[in-house]
Structure 1
Amino acid sequence: MTKLNRLFRNRIGIAEEEIITFEELHTILEKTAKAIPFENLCVVANKTAPITKENLIDKIMKKSEGGLCYELNTILYFFLEENGFDVSLIRGTVFNHTNQSWGTIGETHVANIVNHQGEAYLVDTGFGGNLPLTPVPLNGETVTSSNGEFRVKKLDDRYVLEMKLKYKDEDWKTGYAFYSEKAVEDLNELNEIQKIINEHEQSPFNKNPLVTRITNRGNITLTNTSFTQWEDGKVHKEEIDEKRFREIIREYFNINIG
């Protein structure tokens, strides 16, 4: 068993001897979402490292940090590949709900496509609080998880992830669009994405800290000014200062920022 395989299993809480099948992939996705936060702390602190397998192992597994989509889904890609899955990384364009338009910084979202018994599935562990927590088939079928309902629809030559988050959405809303067969060929593409996220003036992740994680009863989200907890459909929001930020990030996310 490789170092990454062993450390990933340890981080999300599954045994080294457990054989991972497609039928159990939803369990892997749930455990990953609850154990590894979506966060941009290195981006905001200007301390990002090149995207390599070793750097991802060091950041996410050894230092117990989280990451953004191009980090979280890439380490998931390596893990699934080492466990025998037919998997590829793909890029997507996120829909901006504030402006009701497609994002202006290009295909900067990264997710996975898993092929199983002739069917293709979207597998994503890097979409913040919007995670399907289960493979989503590209045939339009709706799937349900503890986080809501999800489906992938064909839009011209692209696919679009749509979601109806539990307790939050009454109607379907758009997540992101992607090309299923336009695979990431090498990690240089991910470093290009990281550069855009780090430097572009319209990047949503290079200005203020954001840390979020799925929980057993909903999700939690931390910014530099507030801490929001969703539990069984009820929301509690606390306004915070820098001292409280450091307390929360240690207590709820197990991240020590010094």
Structure 2
Amino acid sequence: MSDVNKLFRNRIGISDNEVITFENLSLVLEKVAKTIPFENMCIIENKTTEISKANLIKKLLVQNEGGLCYELNTILYQFLIENGFNTSQIRGATYDQVNQRWSPVGKTHVFNLVLHHGQLSIVDTGFGGNLPLKPVPLNGEIITSQNGDFRVVHEESEHGDLIFYMKLKHKDQEWKKGYAFQSNTRIEHVSEINDVQKIIVEHPASPFNKKPIITRITDKGNMTLTETSFTEWVDGNIEKEDIDEKRFKIIAKENFGL
């Protein structure tokens, strides 16, 4: 068993002898979402490193940190490959809900596509609190999980021919756009993922290079930590605490293991 396979299983709590199949992939996605936080602390603290298999193993599986989409989904990609999945990576452009436009940083969302029985599905563990927690096929089928409803629609945009839509449980009344992508364009080399990191770190419009954000799915909702607040969604009820720098560090450690 490879380092990434063994360490990944250990990090999320799956035994070495459990066979990972497409049918139980949702178990893996749930465990990742509830164990490894989506966070940008390395960027804020100016401690980013080159994206490589070795560096991701060290950061996510040895030092037990979290990461952003291009880190979380790339280590998941390595795990899926190790377990025999026909997996590829792809880039998408996220939708800015506040300004109702596609993000000006372009295609910086990195996620996985898995081919199973001739059908491609999104397998994404790097979309913050918007995770589907199950594979989402590209055929328009609505997938329901603990976190809400999700689907992929064939719809042209400036960023491709498909759009990932979501309707989060307890939060959304209507479908909203998540990200757009081109169905037949894959990431061919890790250099592209390093390009994504460079944009996220340097672009003036990047949402992740200004203030810390840490979020994680929980059994009853999710929790999000910023420099000024700690917000918990529990069974549809929201609890928000205003915090200072000292409290930030305490919550980051106690609730996110950082």
Cα displacement string for residues 3-31 of structure 1 (whole angstroms, at most 9, x for unaligned residues):
01000000000000110000000110000
Cα displacement string for residues 84-124 of structure 1 (whole angstroms, at most 9, x for unaligned residues):
00000000000001110111111000000000001010110
| Structure-2 residue corresponding to 1:160 | 163
| Structure-1 residue corresponding to 2:24 | 24
* Pair 1:247 & 2:244 matched: no
Cα displacement string for residues 125-179 of structure 1 (whole angstroms, at most 9, x for unaligned residues):
0000000000001000001000000000001351100000000000000000011
Distance in 2 (alpha carbons) for counterparts of 1:99 and 1:74: 29
* TM value normalised by structure 2: 0.98
Query: CA shift at 1:181, angstroms?
Result: 2.1
Please tell me whether the aligned partners of residues 113 and 180 of structure 1 are also in contact (alpha carbons under 8 angstroms): no
Residue 219 of structure 1 is aligned with which of 213, 217, 222? 222
Residue 206 of structure 1 is aligned with which of 206, 209, 212? 209
* Runs of 5+ unmatched residues, structure 1: none
Runs of 4+ in 1 over 2 A off after TM superposition: none
| Structure-2 residue corresponding to 1:101 | 101
- Give the letter aligned to residue 128 of structure 1: G
| Structure-2 residue corresponding to 1:51 | 51
Query: CA shift at 1:198, angstroms?
Result: 0.5
Distance in 1 (alpha carbons) for counterparts of 2:23 and 2:205: 39
* Pair 1:81 & 2:81 matched: yes
- Give the letter aligned to residue 253 of structure 2: R
Query: CA shift at 1:193, angstroms?
Result: 0.7
* Pair 1:13 & 2:13 matched: yes
| Structure-2 residue corresponding to 1:35 | 35
Alignment of 1:51-70 (within 5 A): 51-70=51-70
* Pair 1:169 & 2:150 matched: no
Distance in 1 (alpha carbons) for counterparts of 2:190 and 2:67: 16
Please tell me whether the aligned partners of residues 125 and 131 of structure 1 are also in contact (alpha carbons under 8 angstroms): yes
Distance in 2 (alpha carbons) for counterparts of 1:206 and 1:45: 10
Distance in 1 (alpha carbons) for counterparts of 2:247 and 2:96: 30
Query: CA shift at 1:180, angstroms?
Result: 2.3
- Give the letter aligned to residue 48 of structure 2: T
Distance in 1 (alpha carbons) for counterparts of 2:233 and 2:98: 21
CA RMSD of aligned residues (A): 0.6
Distance in 1 (alpha carbons) for counterparts of 2:84 and 2:162: 25
Distance in 2 (alpha carbons) for counterparts of 1:47 and 1:180: 33
Please tell me whether the aligned partners of residues 90 and 183 of structure 1 are also in contact (alpha carbons under 8 angstroms): yes
Paired residue secondary structure (1:180)? coil
* Runs of 5+ unmatched residues, structure 2: none
Distance in 1 (alpha carbons) for counterparts of 2:117 and 2:195: 33
Please tell me whether the aligned partners of residues 94 and 109 of structure 1 are also in contact (alpha carbons under 8 angstroms): yes
Distance in 2 (alpha carbons) for counterparts of 1:43 and 1:193: 13
